[in-house]
Chains A and B, each alone.
Chain A
Amino acid sequence: MSDASLAPIPRSTLSLQLRRFRQNWLAMLSVVILLAIMAACFLGPYLFPFDGEEANFDAINQGVDFTSIHLFGTDDYGRDLLVRTLEGGRVSLNIGFLGALVAGIIGVLYGAVSGFVGGRIDRVMMRLVEVLYGFPYVILVILLSLLFGGGNVALFAALVFTLWLTPAVIVRGQAQSLARREFVEAARACGMTSRQIILTHIVPNTMSTVIVYSSLLVPEVILSESFLSFLGIGIKEPQASWGNLIQGGTAAMSTDIRLLLLPAGLLATVLFCLNFIADGLRDAFDPNER
């Protein structure tokens, strides 16, 4: 039993799940749109004869004009808005997905162990979470930038540091309930180790919550990044990110809404897609739905 339980899900189940996912037209549509946005962000900028950091002071704040080379116009440095948004997407999608993934994994494992093992270990682990929650975030960020020099390492550390805490608390709650369920008791009776039970029973059963929560973490990571640049770490202008584009667009919102709409619209679209994909995945992998 011990090794078999860690083996991948049998092929037939996986293909069944994939088929079920494919039948969900909304989720499939979302996948297509998301891939299209990613492709545009990663490849799109190469189609233009300039990059997003190239300023042109003779072409400042041009409006939307699909007949010109600047399709969505330029920003206040005369830089092409579309190219900047796409380049920003490359950066933001990277940190967004990676950040959410890492925060999600740490949170799930930490929470699952804490909730399942319970007792004194649970108490200590959860108190540690409280200390980390409570530590002043701004000080932490300043120290990280001192330590890592305000680059991408500091950015990533600052993003992940707090974001894994809430999933950990939620998963720990789920794990507490699951730990007393019949199938877990049965697994224990069969002689499975705690590690095996956590990985095969606890974690998969918290997945539906985790998938949904993580899909919300992606935009949160992308937007927190702009707050961090306010503290001097993270993506620095002239390099674009959706976070700093949206922030800049907000400042100019009442005079030129275009600067806000393009990056914010793309971010919202990505989130919509993630939302439907998360629901689709959840349904497809739901062991109860046959």
Chain B
Amino acid sequence: MIRFLTKRAGDGLMTLAALVTLTFFVMRLAPGGPFSSNRKISPDILANVQASYHLDDPLVVQFLHYVWGVVRFDFGPSIRFRDYTVSEILLSGLPYSLTIGFWAVVVATVVGVTLGILGALRRNSLIDYSAGVVAVIGIAVPIFVIAPLMQVYFALTLGWFPVGGWGASWRNLVLPIVALALPNIAYISRLTRAAMIETLRENYVRTARAKGIGRARVIWHHALTGAILPVVAYLGPATAAIITGSIVIETIFALPGIGRHFVDAALNRDYPLVMGITILYGGFLIVFNILADMLRGWLDPRVRNE
């Protein structure tokens, strides 16, 4: 296990290094720069502004400068939000995204797996079809449609939850968590159902049943383990994506998370922020993929992590 972890951690660092290098140079190929604006600004002023971000150095020098900063956990200043460094922006927004994302993952996994199992156990029953309907709605109706509908109904009509913003109440969290969880419920429940049907027919499950082990026990101990393997693989990258926030959810519910930076930083050509968010997301991705692989190895001895 220790060997596995060291190896994966080493791999992870190399992956991250590759990602940083690739992103740093490739993003500069995008047209426009952080200071392009409608009005042409005089060259002297532009030079001063660029110099204050070292954007006037040769690209390779900028890269070395950046890497040296990253090694010391200094991700540089943001260009779009000039009062803050990239670390400040990410650390101040992360709690919101993490909170919403964590609960969304929990809700999506619990609800999705439950719906999937129920559907698989009672195939073509009412409950199976209802689970299917939930899944279809979760996917076919995009968040930018569902979220405003929820706002109108639950916030304006019923007045149960606020429309948006981050207040001092758990009520602010409910709608965004549900909206963020919905599409994932769909994926997880469909994956679970398919895998569950398959596992229920596997020899080991049949053997267990033949041995007289109770139905509930078989489902819980044997079938479920097999059925959630694809879900665990799915959850590796999905968790990294969910807990780093969603621009749609954050703009619609006016939440100060970091999800919006994935789109806005690139649109604003805020190079340091693009790099920062890429490293953060890349880091989460690597960690959750390691966790997913470990979890699968533990659930299914056939997945040996050499």
Contacts and interface: CB of A to CB of B under 8 A. Distances in A.
Direct contact of A and B (CB under 8 A): yes
Interface of A: 26, 118-119, 123, 126-127, 130-131, 133-139, 142-143, 146, 165-166, 169-170, 172-174, 176-177, 179-181, 208-209, 211-213, 215-216, 219-220, 223, 246-247, 250, 253-254, 260, 264, 267-268, 270-272, 275-276, 282, 286, 288-289
A268 B140 contact: yes
6 contacts: A134-B23, A170-B191, A173-B230, A176-B303, A180-B302, A286-B197
- Identify the interface centre among A119, A137, A213, A247: most chain B CB within 10 Å of its CB: A213
Contacts of A180: 302, 304
Contacts of A166: 234, 237-238
A60 B197 CA distance: 52
A59 B18 CA distance: 56
B272 interface: no
Contacts of A123: 11
B256 interface: no
A272 B30 contact: no
A213 B187 CA distance: 7
A253 B304 CA distance: 51
B207 interface: no
B136 interface: yes
A50 B266 CA distance: 41
Contacts of B267: 138
A92 to B, nearest CB: 12
Interface residues of B, number: 65
B26 interface: yes
Contact of B26 (A139, A247, A286): A139
Chain A interface helix/strand/loop/mixed: helix
B15 interface: yes
Nearest to B274: A136
A213 B236 CA distance: 16
A212 B191 contact: yes
Contacts of B266: 136, 138-139, 142
B274 to A, nearest CB: 6
Contacts of B137: 268
Contact of A127 (B11, B124, B194, B277): B11
A87 B284 CA distance: 41
Given A170-B234, A271-B139, A135 B278 contact: yes
A173 B282 CA distance: 20
Contact of A219 (B27, B139, B194, B303): B139
Contact of A169 (B22, B31, B124, B233): B233
A135 B230 contact: no
Interface in B84-106: none
Nearest to A254: B152
Contacts of A137: 262
B34 interface: no
B44 interface: no
B191 A219 contact: no
Chain B interface helix/strand/loop/mixed: helix
Contacts of B258: none
Given A138-B263, A212-B191, A170 B233 contact: yes
Nearest to A208: B194
Given A212-B190, A271-B139, A169 B236 contact: yes
Contacts, number: 163
A139 B306 contact: no
Interface in B113-166: 124, 132-133, 135-137, 139-142, 144-145, 148-149, 152
Contacts of A212: 190-191, 193-194
A271 B26 CA distance: 37
Contact of A288 (B140, B201, B303): B201
A136 B124 contact: no
B120 to A, nearest CB: 11
Given A139-B26, A212-B194, A271-B139, 10 more contacts: A131-B19, A146-B29, A169-B289, A170-B233, A174-B230, A177-B302, A216-B135, A247-B144, A276-B132, A288-B201
Contacts of B135: 216, 275
Interface string B179-209: 0000000110011011101100100000000
A211 B190 CA distance: 10
B108 interface: no
Contacts of A253: 145, 148-149
A154 to B, nearest CB: 14
B205 to A, nearest CB: 11
B255 interface: no
B223 interface: no
B277 A136 contact: yes
Contacts of A250: 144-145, 148
Contact of B141 (A139, A220, A264): A264
